């Protein structure tokens, strides 16, 4: 879908766009955050998975996903899943390789930000798990679409 910027609403974080077909679309920021720390080696969506973000009424366009370690890490994986709000089947959508990092006063803890253009369906979720019992903050930044 092609968009042209029509106007900004004053005193708001919300932008109003007009589609190429002349239909107005509102975009509103939607950021989800979760902390994962329970070891889960499963690839099939069972075990502990922490919900990060939920798709809005018309869906949510996920723009970036950031994974930030809270301390030292050993080599392992952080896994991202999608699933519906009714607790349906979880599907593995991405595995992120985590390197071994020793955090210190001069060495930062592991962090990665991935740019995506993933459209999360309405009432669907993105959840995360970690292979090792290490702590990570997972942040998903997206935009919700609504039609006035």
In the three-class reduction of DSSP (H, G, I as helix; E, B as strand; rest coil), residue 75 is classed as: coil
- Residue-level pLDDT at 27: 86
Q: Please give the average pLDDT of every successive group of 10 residues along the chain, which has 148 residues.
A: 37 46 80 97 94 93 97 97 86 96 94 94 95 97 87
Q: What is the pLDDT of residue 36?
A: 98
| Cα dihedral 37/137/123/87 (nearest 10) | 0
Domains recognised in the chain with CATH numbers? 30-146 (2.60.120)
**How do residues 16-53 score in pLDDT, each as one tens digit?**
445 555 667 888 999 999 999 999 999 999 999 999 99
Cβ 49 vs Cβ 128: under 8 Å: yes
CA 58 from centre of chain: 17
Whole-model pTM? 0.81
| pLDDT attached to residue 21 | 59
Judge whether 110 and 29 are in contact, CB under 8 Å. Answer: no
């Amino acid at each position: 879908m092609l968009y042209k910027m029509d106007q900004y609403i004053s005193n708001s974080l919300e932008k109003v766009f007009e589609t190429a077909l002349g239909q107005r679309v509102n975009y509103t920021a939607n950021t989800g955050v979760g902390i994962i720390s329970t070891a889960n080696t499963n690839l099939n969506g069972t075990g502990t998975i922490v919900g990060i973000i939920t798709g809005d009424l018309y869906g949510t366009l996920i723009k970036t996903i950031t994974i930030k370690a809270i301390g030292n890490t050993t080599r392992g994986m952080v896994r991202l899943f999608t699933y519906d709000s009714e607790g349906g089947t979880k599907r593995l959508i991405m595995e992120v390789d985590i390197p071994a990092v020793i955090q210190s006063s001069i060495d930062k803890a592991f962090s990665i930000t991935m740019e995506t253009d993933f459209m999360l369906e309405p009432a669907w979720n993105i959840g995360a798990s970690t292979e090792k019992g290490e702590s990570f903050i997972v942040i998903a930044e997206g935009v919700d679409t609504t039609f006035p």
